[in-house]
Chain A
Amino acid sequence: MTGRSVAWPSMVVLLGLWVALFLAGPLLIVLKISLAETRLARPPYTPLLIDDGGGWSLSANLANYVALVGDGLYARAFGQSLWLAGISTALALGVALPMAYAMARAPASWRGALLAAVLLPFWTSFLIRVYAWIAILKDEGLLNAALVGLGLIRAPLALLNTDIAVVIGIVYAYLPFMILPLYVAFARIPASLIEAAADLGATPTRSFWSVTLPLTAPGIAAGSLLVFIPAVGEAIVPDLLGGAETLMIGKSLWTEFFQNRDWPLASAIAVLLLILLVGPTAWLEGREARRRETGA
C-alpha cells in the first residue's frame, strides 16, 4: 500500500503536466490567435499585446467570430459537417454492431486474431488508405467495374467526389473506434444474463433487443462519440473523396490555414468547433453521471 500512496500524487502531477503542456497550452495559443488580425508577416497575425511606446495595450477583437457567424458559407459548412458526421456515425454503428457482436461471441482462441484484424489498417498511413478509396470509387474504379461486370448496372455510378464517397470514407476510417468499445461492451455482458433471458422465454432475437443491446448502451455511446467527434472536423477525407460542393468545416479550416494563410480565422473555426462539440458532450456526460449516481 505504501507504493501506491507514494505513486498516487506523482501520477496526478504527471497527468496535470501532460494536460497543461499538450492540451491547455496549445488550446490557449489557438484561442489567442483567434482573437488577432491577419497580417503579411511572420507570424502571420498580430500579437496580443502591443507595445505602442507609452506602454502595453491589449489587441484583441472578435472580428473573426463575427465573420464566421455572419458568413453563411461557414454556417453551412458547420451544418453539413454535423450532418455527414451524424450519418457516418449511424452507418458505422450499423456495420460495427454485428461485427463486434460476432467477435465477442467467437471462440476465445479466435478473438485475438479478430481484434488484430480490426486494428490492422492502423499499420498503414491514414492518407494512403483514404487514397485507396479513390481507386475503388472512381468511375472506372473497382466497385463500378464489379457492378457493371455483374450486370447490376449499365453505366458506372458517380461515387467519387460526392458526399456518399465522403461518408464511405469516414465510416471506413473510423470503424475500429466504433468496433472496439462495442466489442468490450458485448464481451462484458455475463453469459448468465443471456441464459436467464432464454430461460424466461425470450427467443434469441428478443433477448438481443431487450437484454444485450440495452446493456451495450455505454459502448454505443462511447463508440459514437469516438467516431462523431473526429468525423465532424475531418479534413482529409472530404478533401480527397469529396466534391466541390462538399462543405466540411475541417476542410474550410485547412483551406483558411494553408491556402489563405488566415491563421486567426482558422483558429476561430477551431475554437467554435471545439465549443460546438464539447458543450453537448459534457452535458451528456454530466447527465449520465447523475443518472448513475441516483441509480434511477
Chain B
Amino acid sequence: MTDAPLIRIERAVKSFGGLKAVDDVSLDVGAGEFLALLGPSGCGKTTLLRSIAGLETLDGGRIAIDGRDMTREPAYRRPVNLMFQSYALFPHLTVAGNIAFGLKQEDLPRGEIERRVGEALALVRLEDKAGHKPERLSGGQQQRVALARALAKRPRALLLDEPLAALDRKLRAATRSELVGLQRRLGIAFVMVTHDQEEALSTATRIAVMERGRIVQIGTAADVYERPCNRWVATFIGEANVIEARRTAEGRWRAEALGIDLVLAAAPRGRAAATLVLRPERVRIDMAAAPNRLDAVVVEAAYLGDRIALKARVPTGAVLSASVASADGVAARFAVGSSLSLGWTAEAATVLEE
C-alpha cells in the first residue's frame, strides 16, 4: 500500500441541474504532494475540491482517501480538511475557540486540545490573538486562523479553496511562500484551487488544468507551461503566440500567416499540419543569427516594470507578442512605431500534440 495514492478520484461526475460541473474526472494525489487545480471560474475545480471534502456528493464515480472508499461518507468523517475561500470562521468563538472546535469534535482530553491549539497558533504566529474574536482581525490574520483551524486537525490532506484570493497583492506573495514552506515542513498533501496561473506555477509540485469540468492537462509547472497539450492550455497559462504551420511539398514547415518557413528542432512526423506555441519571452529582439527571423514594427509597448510587453506587426500584417527584460534605454528603444527584428531559436517553439 506504500505507493497507493493518498487521494484517488475515479471517473467523478457531479451535475447541477443538468450542467456537468465535474465531468468524468480521474485524479490521484500523492501523500506530501502540493497539487493545484487550475482553471477559469466555472470550470468545476471548486466542485471537485468540495467533493473531496465531502461537501458535495458525487453523482458518479468514486473517491478514496488513504485506500478507503469515501464516496458516500459525510464530510465530518473524512480525514481531510478544507480551508474556505471566505475562511468561514465562527464569529461567536474566539481565535482559540475556532481552532479548538475541530479538536473538540474528536473528544480529545482538554489538555491535549489546549496543547494542539497552542501549536497551531504558533504555526501561524498568532499566539497573541488567541482571545480575540475573528471580526477584530485583519484579512491576513483571519486567513491564518482558518489555516491553523484546518491544520490543528492534522488532516491527511489540506484542501484550499482560493486561499489567497481575498488578500492584497503584497500579502499574497508572502503568504504564498509561507504556504509552500508549511506544506514542506508538515509533509501533508495540499490540494489548492486557484484561477491564478502565477499562483499555481509558483506553489504547486503538480498542476491539473481544468476546463468545463474536465482535467485537460496534468503535470509539473514546467510541463504545462512549456509543453501545453493544446491551444487552450497554452493561452490560459501565460501569454502565447500560436502559429499554424503546414508542410510543403519540399518537406519544409510553412507558416503562411508569418510568410516564412519555420526552422524547427523537432519537426512533427507524419503530419501535414501543426500548431506551434511560441512564448513571448522566447522571442529575441535583433538576434543576429536567429534561424527564424522577421522584421517588425512595434504597435504596442506595455511597460510592466521588470519587463516590457511588446506587440509587433510583421510584414504580412500578423502581430506577435514579445517580452523584453527592462534595462537601460530599453523603454525608449521599443517605443511604438520603432522597427526591429524578431527572432527565435529552433527549440523555442513547441509543437502542440493535437
Contacts and interface: CB of A to CB of B under 8 A. Distances in A.
Interface of A: 190, 192-193, 195-203, 206-207, 210-211, 214-215, 217, 295-296
Most chain A CB inside 10 Å of its own CB: which residue of B77, B91, B150: B91
A201 B105 contact: yes
Contact of A196 (B77, B88, B135): B88
Contacts, number: 67
Nearest to B149: A200
B91 A199 contact: no
14 contacts: A196-B82, A196-B84, A198-B75, A199-B54, A199-B76, A201-B105, A201-B153, A202-B101, A203-B105, A210-B101, A210-B104, A215-B90, A215-B91, A295-B135
B99 to A, nearest CB: 10
Interface string B73-102: 011110001101010111110000000011
Interface of A, secondary structure class, is helix
Contact of B106 (A197, A199, A201): A201
Given A202-B76, A215-B92, A195 B101 contact: no
A200 B135 contact: no
B53 A199 contact: yes
Contacts of A192: 84, 86, 88
Contact of A198 (B76, B91, B132, B150): B76
A200 B153 contact: yes
A198 B55 contact: yes
B90 A199 contact: no
Interface in B47-89: 53-55, 74-77, 81-82, 84, 86, 88-89
A210 B88 CA distance: 15
B189 to A, nearest CB: 16
Nearest to A195: B55
Contacts of B133: 295-296
Given A210-B101, A295-B135, A295-B136, A198 B74 contact: yes
Interface residues of B, number: 28
A196 B105 contact: no
Nearest to A296: B133
Nearest to A201: B105
B101 A197 contact: yes
Contacts of A210: 101, 104
Contacts of A217: 92
Contacts of B77: 201
A193 B102 CA distance: 13
Contacts of B75: 195, 198-199
Interface in B134-169: 135-136, 149-150, 153
Interface string B15-57: 0000000000000000000000000000000000000011100
**List of 10 A-B pairs having minimum Cβ-Cβ separation, nearest first:** A200-B102, A201-B105, A196-B88, A192-B88, A198-B75, A214-B92, A199-B82, A198-B76, A201-B76, A202-B105
Contacts of A295: 132-133, 135-136
A196 B153 contact: no
Contacts of B135: 295
Contacts of B74: 198
Contacts of B90: 193, 196-197, 211, 215
Contacts of A203: 76, 105
Contacts of A211: 90, 92
A105 to B, nearest CB: 16
A200 B92 contact: no
B101 A200 contact: yes
Contacts of B84: 192, 195-196
Contact of B88 (A190, A206, A207): A190
Given A215-B92, A217-B92, A295-B132, 8 more contacts: A190-B86, A190-B88, A192-B88, A195-B55, A195-B82, A196-B89, A199-B55, A200-B105
